[in-house]
Structure 1
Amino acid sequence: MAIYHLSMKPIARSGGRSAVASAAYRAAERLTNERDGLTHDFSNRTGVGHAEIVLPARSSAYWAMKRSALWNAAERAEKRSDARIAREFEVALPHELTPDQRLVLTRAFALHLANRYGAAVDFAIHRPGEGSDIRNCHAHLMMTTRQVTEAGLGDKTLLERENRWLLANHLPPSQLQLKDLRQAWEHLANTHLERAGLDIR
């Protein structure tokens, strides 16, 4: 039986975090935050099976395919000291799938997020750590809080809007959006398990 775990949390300066540092850690890369000059080097980190940036379909924002450019742009776009600079989704990947199948599933969910919100999504698949449960395959998906355009980052995504504004514009509040995303993840996972010929009942 697959476990349809999906959690969402903000990456915000109020918690002392930076999008550049978070992306470097999740993708096992060395990135420099141009805002404060700090370099975050996680290039020796093990356990990262794959890392990739996904853009909305038909997007021409090719600049955002470079991790350093993307997350430094996210840092520059926010001026407040307590700004939310990224959204992170963590999903448990079905251990019944092969590594390649888990990659296809994660990429499909990243594209779903990118298309729904017009954002860039940077995902990393993490393998189970040494001595941990071998079924603990999971992925981190970092999404920009602003829409990605050819010229840079634009307006806030609908997930970042205040509920009052969303309701006034006849749009679902953030709680309902998260519920929809959990259902979308469950549907995608079921579809990929069925495609692999696995019993999901």
Structure 2
Amino acid sequence: MIHPASRLEVVVHSRADGRSAVKSAAYTARATYQDTRLGKRFSGKAKGGLLSHELINWSGDAEALWNTAEHTETRRNARVIRELRPSLPAELPLAEQVRLVRGFSLWLRDEYGVAVQADIHAPRFLDRDEERRHNAGKLATDAEEYLAALFDPTRTNRNFHAHMLLTTRKVCPETGAFGDKTRILDDKKTGPEEILRIRQEWQKRTNAALKRIGSPARVDLRSYEDMAKAGDAPAGLIPQDHLGPRRAERSRRLEEYGGDTSTAGQRRAEIREHNDELWRAWLQLRALQREKDRLEESARIATEREAERKEKADAEKRRLQDARTAGEAETVVEASAQFDSVRTASMWEMAISSVQAGAKEPPCEQPDEFSSEVDLDAYETPPGRPLPEPVLTPQVVRVRRRGHRHM
């Protein structure tokens, strides 16, 4: 599945849309700034949750930066701000999130020569009353408890994110003067290529930060189509529209009262179910394919090893056959893994070996031949094999000797 923080939105602020760079900066910095061009004052203090605020490649404050940017542009439809809105993985501690955003802002400065205002915003609390107190700065907690609450999935949506406001002109780091437009980002040909490079750089840095803290999570900013082509996702996934703060709040409010039954909410639910089903089927097929590949690889390795063993055995046999003397044969046997000796043992050596091995004479009777008890009173001698008829029958003959009588 794709990590929920796999998002980096690029928005260009134009005067043609009624935008003000000072107003945007005040909102993301949760501050109050005066727009000297319009003569209006804009405040973002009604919203809480500012976790970090930094300016890169600018020595003054944010109010001066964006008023200077506004006065530098003279066209009615001028583009004054280019904004990057990346999501931050909740696995990263706040210090690592700040480090990630600062390092990426410095990279943007070095690559395009722009000034950057980088702000990190906290996630929203799930409880509406707690969210209102959070925005009003009335959460009665210390800094440690506050951070623990922000990272608690039962209390917030853990949607840590950053707003990086980039000037559309290069800024001199020594004088603070605005120079040429960053046309490489505006051009129809090079613009998309540079935006892709920016997204890839953010993905690389984010995954490096996750790896640095030992987290196995990784973000992927590729489109569903590109991921499917690379074999890293199922084909047919449908991207969801980004809700934004107001629509997300409305959806959560409807969920509290029985579910988001609006047309947009039902459409999102259908897309979510469709994508989940595709992911489940794809993951099962991939697991089966991996098991098949594993078995095939095991069979291949076993076949190769058996072929190597046979080839080695045949080579040893050939070397033994080619031996001309007993010494050469003994040398072949000593280096062999399949021969013990080329000399046949004598009967005397075999007898000694048998005694040393503890060999025993086989019994003269079956093991269970006399194992049963015998009742002597009822025992009858089993009939044996009849004796053969004698060839000669012995006879006793009395013979009287003739001669003188004894007196």
**TM class by shorter-chain length?**
0.7 to 0.9
Give the Cα separation in 1 of the matches to 2:61 and 2:177: 13
Q: Which has the higher strand share?
A: 1
Q: CA deviation at 1:109?
A: 1.1
- Counting only pairs closer than 5 Å after superposition, residues 151-190 of structure 1 correspond to structure 2 as 151-163=176-188, 173-190=190-207
Amino acid at match of 1:95: A
Return 189-198 or 130-139, whichever deviates more: 130-139
Structure 1: which 4+ aligned runs deviate by more than 4 Å?
none
The answer as to 2:112 corresponding to 1:112 is no
Return 42-51 or 135-144, whichever deviates more: 42-51
Identity over aligned residues, as a percent?
A: 35
Give the Cα separation in 2 of the matches to 1:200 and 1:115: 28
Partner-residue secondary structure (3-state), 2:69: helix
Q: Which has the higher helix share?
A: 2
1:2-48 CA-to-partner distances (Å, cap 9, x unmatched) read: 43311101011111110000000000011000101100122342011
Q: Residue in 2 aligned with 1:193?
A: 210
Give the Cα separation in 1 of the matches to 2:17 and 2:126: 30
- Counting only pairs closer than 5 Å after superposition, residues 107-146 of structure 1 correspond to structure 2 as 107-131=102-126, 133-146=156-169
Amino acid at match of 2:177: G
1:144-194 CA-to-partner distances (Å, cap 9, x unmatched) read: 00001114111111444433xxx6xxxxx1011011111000000011111
Higher relative contact order (CA 8 A, sep 6+): 1
Partner-residue secondary structure (3-state), 2:117: strand
Give the Cα separation in 2 of the matches to 1:6 and 1:116: 18
Structure 1: stretches of 5+ with no match in the other structure:
56-60, 168-172
Return 37-46 or 182-191, whichever deviates more: 37-46
**Pairing partner for 2:40 from 38, 41, 63:** 38
Contact 2:90 2:159 survives alignment (8 Å)? yes
Amino acid at match of 1:130: F
Contact 1:103 1:125 survives alignment (8 Å)? yes
Q: Residue in 1 aligned with 2:11?
A: 9
Contact 2:185 2:194 survives alignment (8 Å)? no
Structure label with greater radius of gyration: 2
Partner-residue secondary structure (3-state), 2:85: strand
Amino acid at match of 1:153: F
Q: CA deviation at 1:108?
A: 1.1
**Pairing partner for 1:97 from 81, 92, 95:** 92
Contact 1:117 1:158 survives alignment (8 Å)? no
1:27-74 CA-to-partner distances (Å, cap 9, x unmatched) read: 00110001011001223420111111112xxxxx52xx3111110011
Change (3 A) 1:26 1:151: closer
1:78-114 CA-to-partner distances (Å, cap 9, x unmatched) read: 1111111010000000110111111111111111111
- TM-score scaled by length of structure 1: 0.87
Between the two proteins, the alignment pairs up a number of residues equal to 186
Contact 2:185 2:192 survives alignment (8 Å)? no
Structure 2: stretches of 5+ with no match in the other structure:
128-155, 219-407
Q: Residue in 1 aligned with 2:225?
A: none
Contact 2:33 2:63 survives alignment (8 Å)? yes
